[in-house]
Homo-oligomer: A and B are copies of this chain.
Amino acid sequence: MIPGMPPDSVPGRPALVALDWGTSTLRGYLLDAAGAAIDTRHAALGILRVADGDFEAALERFCGDWFAASPSIPLLASGMIGSRQGWREAAYVPCPASVDELGRRLLRFETGRGRQVAIVPGVVREGDVPDVMRGEETQIAGALGADGAGRFVLPGTHSKWASVADGAITAFRTFMTGELFAVLVQHSILGRLMEGDAADIGAFARGVAFGLAEGGLGGKLFSARTLGLFGRVPGAGLHDYLSGLLIGAEIADARGGDDASGMADGRAVTLIGDPALAARYRDALAIAGVAAEIADEQVTPRGLLRIARAAGLVG
């Protein structure tokens, strides 16, 4: 221990159990006060996989050893663990939602074993048709630069496009692109002409271009059948064609919409998420003339640490 420093701020000394607790997977990071990972692990203990909803037992099984070594260490979790289907529901924070505000609105409780648990709330964009995120607010908090501003795109099952200013998420929109792609490939007529899912850059780019073109998505989907029927996109390329089409349509919609996504001016964006998917979006954004950088993969533990600091959980 370094004299004069609080015990939890010693480099290499555990200061926070940071959990990214989603629908299918639980990822854990044992962090020191500077955010260095002392230990990391993951398990198929997402909220839908926890037997009988016994989240406390799942937690002990997952990282009981971390608590055994540091009995009073704080725990902060983000993601679907704070949803109605999770451990306890953490009420949504309305936009604009800053890191400080997220820290103030943590849901805190003590487990039967006396663990101090805190859960990051999701964020809601109010309006006639509200929109919600849960987990992405923490990734954005971890990706924010010193200017506390930017446009963030989080591709996935339910892609999020978010605008951040003055350190706060000011607006965002959700696109069901990933889920739409999956159900169309697996359950619609569009999957029938597809021959495998090998990469086909040309077919992907063609799909992006048509997705970006004027007109709505519903009137473009059938092209993934007709281009196959007429042999203009080979069967082996239809998978990537549809992927490009959906991503292109998402980009067109996000850019053309109201200011909710903040994309109308075409400024550069930061992509957060799975590296392969982020690279796919970067390529599509390049076709749309939008520069994009891909955030590193440590945004979630970094975001959890920043929120934990804002909440005073970590010194």
Contacts and interface: CB of A to CB of B under 8 A. Distances in A.
Interface string A169-204: 000011111011001101111100000000000000
Contacts of A218: 175-177, 180, 217, 246, 249-250, 253
Contact of A253 (B186, B219, B230, B258): B219
Nearest to A126: B230
Interface stretch (A102-110, A140-148, A221-229): A221-229
Interface stretch (A38-46, A65-73, A208-216, A296-304): A208-216
Tell me the number of copies of this protein.
Answer: 2
Contacts of A4: none
Contacts of A7: none
B223 A129 contact: yes
A97 to B, nearest CB: 16
A174 B132 contact: no
Interface string A134-178: 000000000000000000000000100000000000000111110
A257 interface: yes
A130 interface: yes
A130 to B, nearest CB: 5
Interface of A: 129-132, 158, 173-177, 179-180, 183-184, 186-190, 210, 214-223, 226-227, 229-230, 232, 246, 249-250, 252-254, 256-258
Given A217-B217, A257-B215, A222 B183 contact: no
A226 B132 contact: yes
A100 to B, nearest CB: 25
A141 B313 CA distance: 73
A229 B133 CA distance: 12
Contact of A132 (B188, B229, B250, B257): B229
Contact of A129 (B132, B226, B252): B226
A210 B131 CA distance: 14
B253 A215 contact: yes
Contacts of A258: 214-215
A183 B188 contact: yes
20 contacts: A130-B232, A131-B222, A131-B226, A174-B222, A174-B226, A175-B218, A177-B218, A183-B187, A214-B258, A216-B216, A216-B249, A216-B250, A216-B253, A216-B257, A217-B217, A217-B218, A218-B249, A218-B253, A219-B250, A219-B253
